[in-house]
Copies of this chain bind each other. A is one copy, B any other.
């Protein structure tokens, strides 16, 4: 999967990408039984089946219905069930109740996907012939949207499987322990007025722009992610028991939830074990810590006498990083230890919590209509994370990509990299 080049005709290759992305979703769902695909293990999680249907609904609602003459809605009621949060599209099923809908079945959702795929091929004919080439960006958005849900599908099924005391796996895989990543090095950055945000070349979500100047002070960025071994040291040093390290909301959450380790870690005997998509095994100290909340990331940074980077610092430091790393379709499905030289792990492995609340860039205006609800309305009470993770599709991440979660969230693949003010 390669990055989209918008300077060439977006319509070129659109059908191939459509087929590839649609196929990838089904490939990710393939190891999962109808029962696996049914479960919503907490309100934030959606069933696999729902992801498969909702990504399909997106094309039906924003492309086929409005733009394909004679398109016949697949089934009445699906629009109600599979709208996620688009107020402008109409009423919809309660989010927290997505796991209570046994019908349509996983197989019937497959039928839905095939029905929409067929109609999309008719629409892609119109795009390719130039009759409706203006629809190409919306198709592209649909594919980007589906790639986001591929990551969500894996995040969510990881949680679903984790609540089962039988500890089932998504895919059985042997973990190969990596070598010690060595001590953290610090990469100095001069700061000054720098430019961040998407430059308009190729696809980006609306929240990545407008491109704009920001003023940075000199800073240093760690050359790798915080590793699990360092997290074990934080725990051993009373990290979860010392209120002075924590934001007030974070400390309240630690106590309310009884946190004493990252999500998916559990103690067995004297050791810490970890639940992953490929099975349960001891925590590997060399690999990056993952599934920590923004509160935990912040407390760790305080303990380490450092801080989290801002998103502008991160983006500036990553300005020349190649867009490659531990991403899908790698089989690993988990972050892996740093190796090599220089600033490592910026792309892939874990989403890196930043110190930046998720707010609009200067001059940002959401698009008109339902599509404008995609990003802008979530700009409160969330923090920005950067860089993609081990379950992000390879072509889906950008240096300007702004992921966001509330600071208490742990089921996303969130980890951290430290920063410091320049000496």
Contact = CB atoms under 8 A, between A and B. Distances in A.
Interface of A: 33-39, 41, 49, 77, 80-81, 85, 87-88, 93, 97, 99-106, 160-161, 163-166, 168, 193, 212-215, 217, 243-244, 246-251, 294-295, 298, 355-357, 359-360, 362-363, 372-373, 377-381, 407, 421
A85 B250 CA distance: 14
Contacts of A37: 35
Copies per assembly: 4
Given A39-B102, A103-B33, A215-B213, A377 B246 contact: yes
Contacts of A217: 212, 362-363
Contacts of A166: 77, 81, 101, 103-104
A35 B36 contact: no
B35 A93 contact: no
A380 B295 contact: yes
Contacts of A97: 163
Contact of A363 (B36, B244, B421): B421
A244 B193 contact: no
A99 B97 CA distance: 12
A251 to B, nearest CB: 7
A102 B160 contact: yes
B38 A247 contact: no
Contact of A35 (B102, B243, B378, B380): B102
Most buried by B among A87, A102, A214, A215: A102
Contacts of A356: 359
Contacts of A298: 380
A185 to B, nearest CB: 23
A103 B362 contact: no
A159 to B, nearest CB: 10
A36 B247 contact: no
Contact of A87 (B85, B101, B251): B251
A100 B41 contact: yes
16 contacts: A36-B102, A38-B38, A38-B39, A39-B100, A39-B102, A81-B165, A81-B166, A85-B248, A87-B244, A101-B164, A102-B161, A214-B215, A247-B379, A249-B378, A294-B380, A380-B407
B359 A165 contact: no
Contact of A380 (B49, B104, B247): B247
Contacts of A93: 165
A243 B87 CA distance: 7
Given A102-B161, A247-B377, A248-B380, 8 more contacts: A33-B103, A39-B102, A77-B165, A81-B165, A100-B164, A101-B166, A102-B164, A355-B359
A175 B79 CA distance: 30
Contacts of A168: 102-103
Interface pairs A-B: 9 shortest CB-CB:
A357-B357, A87-B243, A35-B102, A34-B34, A215-B215, A248-B377, A36-B102, A103-B168, A38-B38
